[in-house]
Amino acid sequence: MKALLLLAALAQAVAAGPQTSEERGLWMEMDEAERELKDSNFVVRDSALQTYVEGVLCRTVGTARCAQARVYLVRTPYFNASMAPNGMMQVWTGLLLRVRNEAQLAAVLAHEFAHFEGRHSLIQFREARAKTDAMAWLSFLPMGVGAIGSVGLAGGIFANSREMERAADLASIGHLKSAGYAPGEAARIWEGLRAEQDATAAARGRKSRRDRNGGFFATHPNSGNRAAYLTQAAAGAGGDDGAAAYRAAIAPWWARLIDDQIKLNDPGATDFLLGNLARDGWTAALLYARGELYRAWGRPGDLEQAVAFYREAIAAGVVPAEAHRGLGLALTRIGDEAEARAALGDYLRLKPDAGDRAIIAAMIAS
């Protein structure tokens, strides 16, 4: 509650820039970080995708406000996005693979934007400074007395962080409603993430950590809680989910996103993820992805299944040229050399400038 009052007090426009010495310090640190990030090879340089994501942000929070944020798409195959106090927003490509439609992407962007507008980094910095200072003095007290006080203070820092995450979640629902997106999609993200964690655990024979995000030390509310209060906040409101527009926008990146995900070597989660994305049917792109997964998985029978998925994908319609490469490589390992050569040849014909042209050509020749 205290944190919420603090949020209200700080709700003056961030557009005016940093106001105090401590805020100027945080902005300076982030300006330096941004100076490095903007030239980093991890940043996706694709003007079409960039324009699309910025367009979704602007539709969600309004064109006047979205200009304060600078969006960087970062090629990292995990689910995350972040917002720095100076307006530097990072969206990881693993998130682009996981959200199913434009409304879900909008929910994440609105959440991050709410952190920025609410000056959450500054509040968290002050909170951490005040409480760790008190902890430092407490540490001089005889063992036990001071330690108990410190535990309470440290807990306060994390509780404050969770409170701000919740505030940003709820703000995102407001933005989705006013932008005409289906606000119920925000909760779907967390339901999907929980189920994905179950799938990872099942494939690895472990207990799921789906709602175990640190307990006392958690910086965010757990996924189960988030899904529950987001559903409640969105109740009754309809809107558009923008699924077709989203699929079209990420299609040129699909092969790379899938490749990055498969290299995480988490086949249980990847299989679940693809199934989750395929709830409305297995598209050619999803079948291709499943072929890639099964070719890499390597259990008995997986290569044969991979061949079947690639063939279905190619028959179903437009697929990345890499589908033909995958088919050829899987067939090679099964021992069907003639068919393998034909498929690899198709790949090189469809993608004459392929980076792996030399090695594929050598395989065909051998």
Partner 1 sequence: MKGWLISVTLMLATSPAAAQWSSEGSATKPGFSFPPDRPARILLFRPDVKVGAQTTAGMNEPSAEWTATARDHIAHALDAAQLAQGNTVVPMPELGGTDAALLADYRALFRTVANAAIEHRLFPGARLPTRKAAFDWTLGPGIERLGAAGGGDYGLFLYTYDSYGSTGRKAAQVVGLLLGVGMTAGVHVGYAGLVDLRTGDLVWLSADVAMGGDVREPEGATKRVAQLLAGFPGRVVPSR
CB-based contacts of 38, cutoff 8 Å, min separation 6:
72
Buried b (16+ CB within 10 A) or exposed e, 49-76: beebbbebbbbbbeeebbebbebbbbbe
9, 67, 136, 264: residue in contact with partner 1 (rule CB under 8 A): 136
Per CB under 8 A, the segment of 20-28, 176-184, 269-277, 343-351 that binds partner 1 is 20-28
Kindly state whether residue 216 participates in binding partner 1, applying the rule CB under 8 A.
no
Kindly state whether residue 24 participates in binding partner 1, applying the rule CB under 8 A.
yes
39, 281, 299, 301: residue in contact with partner 1 (rule CB under 8 A): 39
Sheet harboring 81-83: ordered strands across? 70-74, 88-92, 81-83
Kindly state whether residue 72 participates in binding partner 1, applying the rule CB under 8 A.
no
Q: Residue 248 and residue 277: Cα distance in Å, rounded?
A: 14
Nearest partner of 254 among 284, 299, 219, judged by Cα: 284
Nearer Cβ to partner 1 (197/283): 197
Q: Residue 362 and residue 178: Cα distance in Å, rounded?
A: 57
Nearer Cβ to partner 1 (127/322): 127
Nearer Cβ to partner 1 (45/279): 45
Per CB under 8 A, the segment of 23-31, 186-194, 337-345, 358-366 that binds partner 1 is 23-31
CA distances from 308 to 258, 268, 295, 337, 338 (A): 18, 19, 11, 16, 17
Q: Residue 117 and residue 104: Cα distance in Å, rounded?
A: 20
Nearer Cβ to partner 1 (114/262): 114
Kindly state whether residue 140 participates in binding partner 1, applying the rule CB under 8 A.
yes
Kindly state whether residue 83 participates in binding partner 1, applying the rule CB under 8 A.
yes
Kindly state whether residue 148 participates in binding partner 1, applying the rule CB under 8 A.
no
CB-based contacts of 228, cutoff 8 Å, min separation 6:
187
Report helix, strand or coil for 248: helix
Query: Are the CB atoms for 225 and 182 separated by under 8 Å?
Result: no
72, 79, 113, 158: residue in contact with partner 1 (rule CB under 8 A): 158
73, 74, 157, 273: residue in contact with partner 1 (rule CB under 8 A): 157
Q: Residue 68 and residue 56: Cα distance in Å, rounded?
A: 14
Query: Are the CB atoms for 59 and 78 separated by under 8 Å?
Result: no
Nearer Cβ to partner 1 (43/350): 43
| End-to-end Cα separation, the chain, in angstroms | 70
Per CB under 8 A, the segment of 6-14, 153-161, 271-279, 357-365 that binds partner 1 is 153-161
Q: Residue 75 and residue 96: Cα distance in Å, rounded?
A: 10
Amino acid at 160: N
Strand intervals (E) in the chain: 70-74, 81-83, 88-92
Per CB under 8 A, the segment of 6-14, 96-104, 126-134, 253-261 that binds partner 1 is 126-134
135, 230, 255, 273: residue in contact with partner 1 (rule CB under 8 A): 135
Query: Are the CB atoms for 81 and 69 separated by under 8 Å?
Result: no
Kindly state whether residue 14 participates in binding partner 1, applying the rule CB under 8 A.
no
User: From the CB of 225, what's the least distance to partner 1, in Å?
Assistant: 17
Q: Residue 167 and residue 174: Cα distance in Å, rounded?
A: 11
User: From the CB of 76, what's the least distance to partner 1, in Å?
Assistant: 14
Kindly state whether residue 36 participates in binding partner 1, applying the rule CB under 8 A.
yes
User: For residues 265-304, which are near partner 1 according to CB under 8 A?
Assistant: none
60, 93, 101, 121: residue in contact with partner 1 (rule CB under 8 A): 121
Kindly state whether residue 161 participates in binding partner 1, applying the rule CB under 8 A.
yes
6, 105, 164, 257: residue in contact with partner 1 (rule CB under 8 A): 164
Binding site for partner 1 (CB under 8 A): 18, 21-22, 24-29, 32, 36, 39-41, 82-84, 120-121, 124-125, 128-129, 132-133, 135-137, 139-140, 154, 157-158, 161, 164, 219-220
